[in-house]
Every structure is written in C-alpha cells, then in structure tokens.
Structure 1
Amino acid sequence: MERLIERSLFASRWMMAPMYVGLAGALVILLWVFLNELLRFGLSMPTMTVDDAVLGLLALIDLSLAANLLLIVIFSGYENFVSRMDLTEHKDRPEWQGEVDFSGLKLKLVASIVAISGIHLLKVFMDVGKYPAEKIRWMVIIHLVFVISGVLLALMDWISNHGKSMKKGKYARD
C-alpha cells in the first residue's frame, strides 16, 4: 500500500506539465504584445522625441525581460518538478538549463522582478510630471521591498549553503 501511495504521489508531478504548457502559451501572448508595441513604436518615429524613444525602448526591454523570466520558470520548473528534458545534444540548449535548482530559480525570479520593477520606475522618472507624488512614492517603496527581499533571499540561501558545507566538513573530519 505504501509503495502504491508513493508511486501515485510521484506520478502526480505530471499534473504540473499542463501548467508549463500554459506558460508557453502566455509566452505567445507576450510575443503578440511585444510585436504590437514594436509596431506602435515604429509608426511613431516621425514625431518621436528623445524621451519617447527611451520610453518605447524601455517598454520593449520590459517585455523581453518578462519573456526571459517566463522561459526560466518554464525550463527550470519543468526540469525541477516534472522531468528532465532530454536535450543535452541540442546545440542551442542554454548552459544553465538543468543546472538551476529551486534555490537558483528563486534568485533568478527575484532578480528579474527587481529588473522589471526598476524599468517601470525608470519609465515613471522619465515622465515624472505625469504621476502624482504619492504614486511615485509607493512605486519606490515597492521597488525597495523587491530589492531588500532579493538581498535577504540571497543571504538566506548563502547561510543555508554555508551551513550545509560546514556540516559536510565536520562529517568529513570525523
């Protein structure tokens, strides 16, 4: 009975696979939004100011960072929780694929969120007169919370890994 329960629980990981396929569908949606933004950006070139150019580029960078984040979650999540991807021979396979554990995934996720938040904040600063001071204040606070959370998460991982290595060193001496 125990073996049946364990095999069933282990097989339940496949329930995550449709979620990763759904995230790949979300990548198609992001591509659509990116292409629409690129078209709008290109059509506004004749009347574009420097600020408009920078804001347009930031919007495109923001979308590409979100897409990169999505790919990291899809690849790492699938490999960490569902099944290894048998693509070791593929010439275009990212070097980090198969190397990012759950801890690394969290750090990449937080770093991407901080970058995206920073880009949004930069867009606001480029057109600061358009936003009320209260909204800017909250955006800065939220960005700082993301930054501090990322630093604390990295510190927790470092402490955890340092503790594990210390423990291994102790057992190696005994």
Structure 2
Amino acid sequence: MEKKFEKIMYASRWLLAPIYLGLSLSLLMLLIKFFQEIIHVFPLILEISEKDLILLILSLVDMALVGGLIIMVMFSGYENFVSQLDIDENVEKLSWLGKLDSGSLKQKVAASIVAISSIHLLQKFMNLDSSNSTQLMWYVIIHMTFVLSSLGMAWVDRFNHKQKG
C-alpha cells in the first residue's frame, strides 16, 4: 500500500507539466503586448517627448525581463520538479540549463523581481508630481521590501551552503 502511494505521489509531479506549458503561452501574450506597444508608438515617434519615449523603452525592457524570468522559471522548474530536458547534442543549449537548483532559482527570481521593481520605480520617479509623494513613498517601501527579501534569501542560502561545507 505504501509503495503504491509513493508511486502515485511521485507521478503527480507531472501535474506541473501543463503549468510550465501554460507559462510558454504567457510568453506569447507578452510578445503580443510588446509588439502592440511598438506598433502603437511607431507612427507617433516624431511627436512624442523624450520622457515618454524613455518610459516606453523602460516598459519594453520590463517586458523583456519578465520574459526572461518566465523562461528561467519554466525550464528550471520543469527540470527540477518534473523531468530532465532531453536536448540533442547538436542543438544549442542554454548555459545555465541543468545547473539551477531550486535555491539558485529562487535567488535568480528574487533578483529579477528587484530589477523589474527598479524599472517600475524609475517610471514612477519620471512621472512624479507633487500630489503623488505619498504614493511614491509606498512604491519605495515596497521596492525596498523586495530588495531586503532578496538579500535575506541570499544570506540564508549562503549560510546553508556554509553549514553543508
């Protein structure tokens, strides 16, 4: 009975596979939004201000970072929790593939969230007017929470590695 239960439990990891496939669909949605922004602004490029162009570019960079985050979570999560990817030798392989354990993945995700939060904060600073100072304070507090959480996770991970070694 116990052996059968353990087999079923172990096989249940495959329930994550459709979730990782769904993340690839979210990449498609992100791609559509990315090009929607470019197509929307392209006819107006000579009319928009430098500030608005910089805000648009920051938004595009933000989408690129989110896309990279999705790829990292999708592939590393699949490899760590479902099954190893079987990639032919003659096919280009991402250098980090197979090297990110769940701890490393958490650190990379945290660093990506801090980078994305930084871009959002920069966008808010660029759109700053005096009536939004309280709102901006909350954005800074939230950003610093992400930064401190990321540093805390890195410290715990480093401490755990020292304990093992």
What TM-score, normalized to structure 2? Answer: 0.96
Name structure 1 gaps, 5 residues minimum: 166-174
* Fraction of identical pairs, as percent: 40
Q: Deviations over 1:11-35 (max 9, x none)?
A: 0100000111111111111111111
CA drift at 1:39: 1.2
Distance 1:47 1:130 in 2: 26
Matched with 2:85 is: 85
Matched with 2:162 is: 162
Matched with 1:168 is: none
CA drift at 1:130: 7.7
Name structure 2 gaps, 5 residues minimum: none
The structure with the largest alpha-carbon Rg is: 1
Distance 1:62 1:106 in 2: 19
Matched with 1:97 is: 97
Distance 1:36 1:82 in 2: 34
Matched with 1:64 is: 64
What TM-score, normalized to structure 1? Answer: 0.91
Q: What is the letter of the counterpart of residue 98 of structure 1?
A: G
Distance 1:90 1:112 in 2: 30
Matched with 1:113 is: 113
Distance 1:159 1:97 in 2: 25
- RMSD between aligned residues: 1.3
Q: Deviations over 1:73-105 (max 9, x none)?
A: 000000000000011515321100110000011
Over 3 Å counting, the alpha-carbon distance change for 1:11 and 1:137 in structure 2 is: same
Matched with 1:170 is: none
Secondary structure of 1:128's counterpart equals coil
Q: Structure 1 segments of 4 or more deviating over 6 A?
A: none
CA drift at 1:42: 1.7
Equivalent pair of 1:124/1:131 in contact (CA under 8 Å): no
Matched with 1:171 is: none
Matched with 2:142 is: 142
Over 3 Å counting, the alpha-carbon distance change for 1:32 and 1:157 in structure 2 is: same
Matched with 2:42 is: 42
